[in-house]
Amino acid sequence: MTPTPVEEIKKTTCYMCACRCGIRVHLRDGEVRYIDGNPDHPLNKGVICAKGSSGIMKQYSPARLTRPLRRKPGSERGAGEFEPISWEEAFSTLAERLGKIRATDPKKFALFTGRDQMQALTGLFARQFGTPNYAAHGGFCSVNMAAGMIYTIGGSFWEFGGPDLDRAKLFVMIGTAEDHHSNPLKIALSKFKRDGGRFVSINPVRTGYSAIADEWVPIRPGTDGALLLAFIHEIIAKGLYDRDFLVRHSNAGQLVNVAEASDEFGMFVRAEVPQEEACYDPQDKLWWDRNTNRPVVTHTAGADPYLRGEFRMGDGTVVKPSFQLLQERVKDYTPEWAEGITGIPADTIRRLAHEMGVTARDQKIELPISWTDTWGVEHDTVTGNPVAFHAMRGLAAHSNGFQTIRALGILMSLLGTIDRPGGFRHKVPFPRPIPPCARTPNHPKAVQPNRPLDGMALGWPSDPDDLFVDEDGSPVRLDKGFSWEYPLSVHGLMHNAITNAWRGDPYKIDTLMIFMANMAWNSTMNAVEVRKMLNDKDETGEYKIPFIVVADAFQSEMTAFADLILPDTTYLERHDVMSILDRPISEFDGPVDSVRVPVVPPTGECKPFQEVLIELGTRLKLPVFVNKDGGRKYRDYPDFIINYETEPGSGIGFLAGWRGKGGEKFMRGEPNPNQWEMYAKNDCVFHYELPKSYQYMRNWNKGYLEWSQRNRITRYAEPILIHLYSEVLQKFRSAAQGKGLTRKPPEHLKKRIETWFDPLPFYADTLEGQATDKQKYPLAAITQRPMAMYHSWDSQNAWLRQIHAHNLLHVNTQTARHLGIADGDWIWVESPWGKVRCMAQHSDAVEPGTVWTWNAIGKAAGAWGLSPDANESQRGFLLNHLISEELPGGAGHVSNSDPITGQAAWYDVRVRIYKAEAGEPEQTSPQFEPMKRYPGQSESRSVWNFFAGKVSK
């Protein structure tokens, strides 16, 4: 008789994509039988997506790495010849090598991670090591969205905030944004539509959520800025902006010095109020009061500022309110002007602008919630203007993206929708001061042997003196982040790390450690050349990047280039935290953090990367990880999470829930030895619901800001005024013009800084667009994300790859016919930088000047445990081969990125397409030598009748 199988259910947190839904893992005899959504979890409320439902196939994938591996002595890097070693050998090799680097020049160790929801730990490790060369994937993902919005409204989308679709009447989604984040947005969209809301999607392509939009507005890629500026033009021209909101909550009425000859040109004029040196916006700026017709300190009780006009100060200085300057800026950005750039008819632009303005004005929401603002004024209600927006990479991944996103933030502000019901709402830890307080060091002496970095590796510059450069203005960081080339690169520029290290510009490094990032394939631009750089040797026969360590759970393309491979666990096999110190999963109504707990044991010798960092930190005696005597402080990662405090006795650690000795405290409290168990008992999630009076208007909400300050989420309880006009940007521009007392940019970057650091949003074609012959390359080429493969992971998944095994280039039907390309033809796609052969598919759901494909499906032959003849490599393709990581310009090389933030400009590339010759192989090009299976990888089955409880039998 067969024994009855043992069935049990364990709760944890998903990580099939970056959304982090609550899941229940059903086990049968210890094997994963079913994964469903946890109905009690605040994020997904029981639902789950296609990826989350396919976790079983991730867990048992033949792409799993199960043993530490070393490149075989004598074999060439990239050849895929590995031999297993013990963890002890891996750790001692690393500790010795990294110890020497740390004792001599810590910046020669670079740590870049694809995953950026573990930065509280990875960032701590890098800082303690003392290297400035640390970043996560944000720079090549969506940093423009973070920076553009945070430098404007003090918060942004996704983890930082989002559209309040519960109360919105009109929802406008611009560009591809679906996977940030996915299930919550799907839940909200469905409810929104069923409640009668109107959903407008502005996107070159109609796929994803656009499919259920009430109106699809096709737009040319990279022209969103022109559209948004035309919306602003119309909203102002028709008087549809929320004047009361702007006066109180933005710098609209504050006076800017417009005397061109003045050293203070473009700066706010200020009252003579001494201010302490701090990172908030001091309230020392001036209004021109309508009642008294004279300048008064901003927000003076009883005063009402002019938003328009020109005034003369007592000393003769000519000044204008910010709003006046904005109005002048958008004067010529008419709908007719935008039509020629975006391809959207002027009438449509005008109609949509009016719909936004009228909906915001006439369908106001009043919630009976009393609250007190930062000026001490008490309010009986919270007002909402029910127009909500959402955007992400579609706007961000362009070299003009920062200014585009500034325009979006300003449009949302003009409509009076910031942290109000039915509009945009923040999530803790946002809003933060503009800019937030964290700073990088601003001089190379911050990097010293055997010392932690004197400052954060990533921060938020507020003026040129915050840049991380040396005496002559050259970058200190390998990726040139926070230098004059990309001053506000708040997430770093991971996409340039390999090219710079290979070239030795700004310097050579010794060890590059990559965690969970496929920098030899879909996470790199110019993949063909970058793969060569990873293998390239100098004249002495040494590799130009001497030592490469890759930590990953799977046999990605990147692992082939490793000298040392560290096998990571899957999300089902480890402890993990989604911390408020990092990028938590907060809701609009308050902070939420969460954990993962292991539901199955690690496969083979897999070890969580968190444990690797704790162990290495201990062996290297990084101060945080050892006691005063240099001995081990933390037994392991779970022990570290329980006991680590930001400062001794601060009561603040990675987790905010169940603190205090008995788990009785929240947000702050002593370490609780049973914290993990308490999380596990409570759905692995801690949700702190703020009082209703703290849930809105948080930039200016006294109660909320003081609560936030008490809990050390912000340092100051000062109001966070919206920056319609950005003095921060103006400071950089002024420096480029030789004004002010701050540092000045090097000669070759002056023009670039002066042009792009405009304190008001403007439209310019993308850098690549400006540099490309559009007659020769008439089409824009972009990618979209298939929902079954959000966040680019899991192409090796046996179930998901049956949904998308290869990708096609989608071409507008008329465009294709004009070029003689039939549906299903093999074609060449060529950019100035490279070409790929792939298959075309006709589509009427794409605007005529754009071609697109699904991201993340094309793979290198033999990678990810797939056979060399798998569709992913033979029919699937990678668009990245067409995209350069650098553009001509600057002093030789400049990153193909936004000149303000360093955001990778994935969506700027221009291409032409033509039919492949008859007789060419029906196979994508380029092809690479198939990757080999590594020791410890299981065989790929040719037939699989998966039935849990019998996998290992």
Partner 1 sequence: MTQLALVIDLNVCVGCQACVTNCKEWNTSGSAGPMVDQNPYGKDPTGTFFNRVQTYEVGEFPNTETIHFPKSCLHCEDPPCVPVCPTGASYKRKEDGIVLVDYDKCIGCKYCSWACPYGVREFDEQQKIMKKCTLCVDRIYDPKMTEEERRPACVRACPTSARLYGDIHDPESEVSQAIREAGGYQLMPE
List binders of partner 1 among 294-313 (CB under 8 A): none
Instruction: Return the closest-CA partner of residue 157 out of 170, 172, 142.
Output: 142
Instruction: Return the closest-CA partner of residue 719 out of 106, 130, 133, 154.
Output: 154
106 contributes a contact to partner 1 by CB under 8 A: no
28 contributes a contact to partner 1 by CB under 8 A: yes
Least separation in angstroms between CB 940 and partner 1 = 4
867 contributes a contact to partner 1 by CB under 8 A: yes
Scan for tokens 């002593």, then name that residue: 670
Instruction: Please state, in angstroms and rounded to a whole number, the distance separating the CA atoms of residues 218 and 344.
Output: 7
Q: Which two tokens stand for residue 44?
A: 């997904």
34 contributes a contact to partner 1 by CB under 8 A: yes
Nearer of residues 21 and 258 to partner 1, judged by Cβ: 21
375 contributes a contact to partner 1 by CB under 8 A: no
Instruction: Return the closest-CA partner of residue 644 out of 619, 682, 617.
Output: 617
Query: Which residue type does 371 have?
Result: W
Q: 80, 218, 421, 459: which one contacts partner 1 (CB under 8 A)?
A: 218
Least separation in angstroms between CB 47 and partner 1 = 4
Instruction: Please state, in angstroms and rounded to a whole number, the distance separating the CA atoms of residues 694 and 790.
Output: 33
List binders of partner 1 among 128-187 (CB under 8 A): 182-183, 186-187
Instruction: Please state, in angstroms and rounded to a whole number, the distance separating the CA atoms of residues 480 and 496.
Output: 8
DSSP codes of every residue in 370-413: -EEBTTS-EES-EEE--EEEEE-HHHHSSTTHHHHHHHHHHHHH
Q: 6, 39, 340, 635: which one contacts partner 1 (CB under 8 A)?
A: 39
Instruction: Return the closest-CA partner of residue 453 out of 107, 139, 779, 167.
Output: 107
Least separation in angstroms between CB 45 and partner 1 = 9
CA end-to-end distance (rounded Å), the chain? 16
List binders of partner 1 among 759-788 (CB under 8 A): 787-788
Q: 870, 878, 882, 900: which one contacts partner 1 (CB under 8 A)?
A: 870
330 contributes a contact to partner 1 by CB under 8 A: no
Q: What's the gap between Cα 27 and its chain centre?
A: 34
Least separation in angstroms between CB 210 and partner 1 = 7
Cross-strand pairs, 890 = none
Strand-by-strand arrangement of the 685-687 sheet:
576-578, 592-596, 685-687
Q: 59, 594, 807, 812: which one contacts partner 1 (CB under 8 A)?
A: 812
Cross-strand pairs, 839 = 826
Nearer of residues 381 and 814 to partner 1, judged by Cβ: 814
Q: 798, 809, 840, 905: which one contacts partner 1 (CB under 8 A)?
A: 798
508 contributes a contact to partner 1 by CB under 8 A: no
Query: Which residue type does 711 have?
Result: N
Collapse the DSSP code of 293 into the 3-class scheme (helix H, G, I; strand E, B; otherwise coil) and give the result. Answer: coil
Nearer of residues 209 and 762 to partner 1, judged by Cβ: 209
Nearer of residues 677 and 922 to partner 1, judged by Cβ: 922
Q: 49, 338, 580, 728: which one contacts partner 1 (CB under 8 A)?
A: 49
Nearer of residues 140 and 192 to partner 1, judged by Cβ: 192
Least separation in angstroms between CB 826 and partner 1 = 18
DSSP codes of every residue in 299-316: T-TT--B-SS--EE-TTS
Instruction: Please state, in angstroms and rounded to a whole number, the distance separating the CA atoms of residues 427 and 150.
Output: 13
952 contributes a contact to partner 1 by CB under 8 A: no
Beta strands in 233-313 (DSSP E): 255-257, 286-289, 294-297, 311-312
Contacts of residue 203, defined as CB under 8 A and 6 or more positions apart, other chains included, come to: 173, 174, 175, 176, 210, 216, 217, 218, 219, 394
Q: Calculate ∠ Cα 285-287-289, nearest 5°.
A: 155
For 118, half-sphere exposure in the C-beta direction (CA atoms, 13 angstrom radius) is 24
| Binding string, residues 879-918; x marks residues near partner 1 by CB under 8 A | ----------------------------------------
Residues binding partner 1: what is the number (CB under 8 A)?
73
927 contributes a contact to partner 1 by CB under 8 A: no
Nearer of residues 152 and 203 to partner 1, judged by Cβ: 203
Candidate segments 133-141, 242-250, 394-402, 865-873, binder of partner 1 by CB under 8 A: 865-873
Least separation in angstroms between CB 920 and partner 1 = 20
Instruction: Please state, in angstroms and rounded to a whole number, the distance separating the CA atoms of residues 148 and 146.
Output: 6
Nearer of residues 177 and 721 to partner 1, judged by Cβ: 177
Least separation in angstroms between CB 259 and partner 1 = 48
DSSP 861: T
Q: 414, 846, 879, 883: which one contacts partner 1 (CB under 8 A)?
A: 846
Instruction: Return the closest-CA partner of residue 916 out of 807, 849, 858, 838.
Output: 838
Nearer of residues 375 and 947 to partner 1, judged by Cβ: 947
Least separation in angstroms between CB 181 and partner 1 = 11
Least separation in angstroms between CB 61 and partner 1 = 8
Least separation in angstroms between CB 802 and partner 1 = 5
Least separation in angstroms between CB 189 and partner 1 = 7
Q: 14, 50, 267, 512: which one contacts partner 1 (CB under 8 A)?
A: 50
H-only helix segments in 178-242: 182-194, 224-237
Instruction: Please state, in angstroms and rounded to a whole number, the distance separating the CA atoms of residues 864 and 870.
Output: 11
Candidate segments 34-42, 327-335, 594-602, 667-675, binder of partner 1 by CB under 8 A: 34-42
Least separation in angstroms between CB 788 and partner 1 = 5
802 contributes a contact to partner 1 by CB under 8 A: yes
Sign of CA dihedral 88, 94, 96, 99: negative
Instruction: Return the closest-CA partner of residue 591 out of 666, 673, 700, 693.
Output: 666
| Binding string, residues 177-216; x marks residues near partner 1 by CB under 8 A | -----xx--xx-xx--xx-----------xxxxxxx---x
Q: 310, 869, 920, 922: which one contacts partner 1 (CB under 8 A)?
A: 869
458 contributes a contact to partner 1 by CB under 8 A: no
List binders of partner 1 among 230-249 (CB under 8 A): none
Least separation in angstroms between CB 112 and partner 1 = 29
926 contributes a contact to partner 1 by CB under 8 A: no
Least separation in angstroms between CB 337 and partner 1 = 21
Candidate segments 36-44, 290-298, 594-602, 688-696, binder of partner 1 by CB under 8 A: 36-44
Q: What's the gap between Cα 399 and its chain centre?
A: 15
Omega cis (within 30) before 435: yes
Least separation in angstroms between CB 22 and partner 1 = 13
801 contributes a contact to partner 1 by CB under 8 A: yes
Instruction: Return the closest-CA partner of residue 743 out of 755, 730, 734.
Output: 734
Q: Strand pairing of 109-113 and 134-135?
A: parallel
Instruction: Please state, in angstroms and rounded to a whole number, the distance separating the CA atoms of residues 729 and 479.
Output: 22
Nearer of residues 48 and 458 to partner 1, judged by Cβ: 48
Cβ count near 335 (within 10 Å): 23
Least separation in angstroms between CB 524 and partner 1 = 24
Q: 799, 914, 915, 932: which one contacts partner 1 (CB under 8 A)?
A: 799
Least separation in angstroms between CB 221 and partner 1 = 16
556 contributes a contact to partner 1 by CB under 8 A: no
Buried b (16+ CB within 10 A) or exposed e, 94-120: bbebbeebbeebbbbbbbbbbbbbbbb
Contacts of residue 860, defined as CB under 8 A and 6 or more positions apart, other chains included, come to: 521, 557, 873, 928, 930, 931
Least separation in angstroms between CB 316 and partner 1 = 55
The answer to whether the beta carbons of residues 724 and 406 sit under 8 Å apart is: no
